[in-house]
Amino acid sequence: MGIKKIFKVGIVTIVLVLFVDIAFAEIKANARKKQLKKIEKNINKEIDLPDIPAIDDYVRVGLLRSPALKASFYKWKASFNKITQAFSLPDPMFTFTEYIDKVETRVGPQERAYSIMQKIPLPDKLWIKKDKAFKASEQAYYMFEKKRLDLIFNIHDAYYEYAYLSKAIALTEENMKLLQNFESVAQAKYATGTAKNQDLLKVQVELGKLENELLSLRDLRKPLVSRLNALLNFPENKELPWPNESLDIISVKEEYNVPMDDLANSIKNNNPELLSLSENIKKHEKEVQLSYRDYFPDLSIGVKTIDTNDALNPNMLDSGKDPLMIMFSVNVPIWFWRIDAKVNEAKASLATAKNMQVAKEQELLSRLSLIHYKFRDALRQSGLYKQALIPKAVQTLNATRSGYQAGHVDFLSLIDAQRVLLNFELAYYRHTANVYQRYAEVKNLLGEIEKGPFAVKEDL
């Protein structure tokens, strides 16, 4: 194959690769544009919670009302609108010249001149700038997606903490009623001389402890409601009903009981923070390409005309004819040390971006490993309390109560049995709430988007 043929094939290949790359970029940019429009239709809708809200209602309201999420969305939108700016030619330069001393020519005196020049970056600087701007907008998009996932997780975390508080207060109140019944029994036995005074004092001490715990639990409601109101962009003092949650063991998806290696692959491919850092690397790669293009000159092309009056001799050929000129100019990039420094700066920024991604990936994998352990541990302990410990504690309390009524068991054993059951029930609901919270956190790290008004991922 001759040199000319090889050269032609190479040129054609480069053009085809560039064309395909541009076509794919345009398709993806158009898809993002549709997503922006879809989100903006919903972002300012007025919405409130229903009378009996579930977790999905909290998430939907939070996604539509959160000012932090809106700020992230408009940051993405602003970044997206920079793409058109990056692909635009610089403004043409118009020049007007008035001759103080008229230039006498054969066809007449020249009085003023008009010219316009347009700078055209070469060879493919505009395409690289456009691609760089698109990568920057993709980086902003994935940060918006991260903000959305963080909001969903934070709502789940606060909601299930609120649900646990509801269960803890209800259990404590129920146990106080039970102890009050015990107190009545102890007073009756003490009055008849069949029980000692210390039994009555013991139950009164336990009642005092439960009353103190109940006051602390009730005081906790206000800060938890305040946190939920902040996430939903509601007034701080807005009252929220108790969650209608049973807090029983949930049926967990199988993928969250798989080995960590599989979850690690998922986080690398789907976590929006890592995807944002990946787009940041691509943006800096385009910056390196762009810095090398500074070795090439830019072309300026323009036209110029001169306003010419009639010649003194009216019979002169072409008298008063305005000349028209085409102008070409190029800059001469001779200060190579400046361009070299720019290239080195771009390469250093690219190395920074790559190392940032590696560091963040290691951080997220370490965090995922710990959260995955906490999730599985909470699930295991929740099942242990539900299936084994609580039923045994109930049996023990019933047997102890019967024994106390028959006079075979002392009152202290009855109080201890009741306290053990209360602690087991509280521990069960605590671990079950943790299961829900850690489940949401795992989904957050894996980059799973909930269905909802901002769930644009299905449009890709």
Domain identity same for 83 and 94: no
Domain that holds residue 113: 89-120+297-332
Residues in the chain: 460
Give pairs for 85-92: CB < 8 Å, separation 24+. 85/133, 86/126, 86/129, 86/130, 86/132, 86/133, 87/126, 87/127, 87/129, 87/130, 87/133, 89/118, 89/119, 89/120, 89/121, 89/126, 90/119, 92/116, 92/117, 92/118, 92/119, 92/302
Domain identity same for 47 and 71: yes
Q: Is residue 205 part of a domain?
A: no
Specify the number of domains making up the chain.
2
Q: How far is CA 344 from CA 78, 124, 198, 347, 350, in A?
A: 29, 20, 83, 5, 10
Rank 118-127, 348-357, 403-412 by mean pLDDT and report only the highest. Answer: 348-357
Domain identity same for 231 and 109: no
Contact indicator for 267, 446 with CB cutoff of 8 Å: yes
Q: Is residue 302 part of a domain?
A: yes
Average pLDDT in the 390-401 region?
Answer: 91
Ranges 85-99, 185-199, 302-316: which has the least confidence? 185-199
Q: Name the percent of the chain lying above pLDDT 70.
A: 84
Report how far residue 436's alpha carbon sits from residue 153's, in angstroms, rounded to the nearest whole number.
10
Closest CA to 321 of 336, 335, 311, 334: 311
Q: Is residue 155 part of a domain?
A: yes
Q: Is residue 8 part of a domain?
A: no
Domain identity same for 319 and 410: no
Domain identity same for 111 and 219: no
Domain identity same for 310 and 244: no
Report how far residue 176's alpha carbon sits from residue 222's, in angstroms, rounded to the nearest whole number.
22
Mean pLDDT estimate for the chain: 85
pLDDT class of 3 with cuts at 50, 70, 90: low
Domain identity same for 238 and 95: no
Domain identity same for 237 and 222: yes
Q: Is residue 442 part of a domain?
A: yes
The CATH number of the domain holding residue 114 is 2.20.200
User: Which ranges constitute the DSSP H helices of 239-335?
Assistant: 260-270, 272-292
Q: Which two tokens stand for residue 352?
A: 């920074």
Average pLDDT in the 300-313 region?
Answer: 83
Average pLDDT in the 119-132 region?
Answer: 89
Exposed / middle / buried, residue 137 (Cβ in 10 Å: 0-12, 13-18, 19+): buried
pLDDT in tens, 420-449: 999 999 999 999 999 999 989 999 999 875
pLDDT class of 456 with cuts at 50, 70, 90: very low
Q: Is residue 50 part of a domain?
A: yes
Cis previous bond, 123, omega within 30:
yes
Residue 17: is its pLDDT beyond 70?
Answer: no
Q: How far is CA 49 from CA 86, 140, 232, 243, 433, in A?
A: 43, 30, 10, 12, 22
Q: Is residue 382 part of a domain?
A: yes
pLDDT in tens, 223-244: 999 999 999 999 998 999 999 8
Beta pairing partners, 120? 299
Q: At what angle do helices 411-446 and 197-232 cross, to 10 degrees?
A: 20
Looking at 313, 332, 351, which one is the last position of a domain? 332
Q: Is residue 177 part of a domain?
A: no
The CATH number of the domain holding residue 451 is 1.20.1600.10
Domain identity same for 323 and 229: no
Domain identity same for 63 and 53: yes
The pTM of the full predicted model, rounded to 2 decimals, is 0.85
**Residue 102: its pLDDT value, please?**
79
Domain identity same for 104 and 132: no
The edge-to-edge listing of strands for the beta sheet with 108-120 is 93-105, 108-120, 299-308, 324-330
Domain identity same for 380 and 310: no
pLDDT in tens, 149-208: 999 999 999 999 999 999 999 999 998 888 887 777 666 666 666 556 676 777 788 888
**Residue 453: its pLDDT value, please?**
40
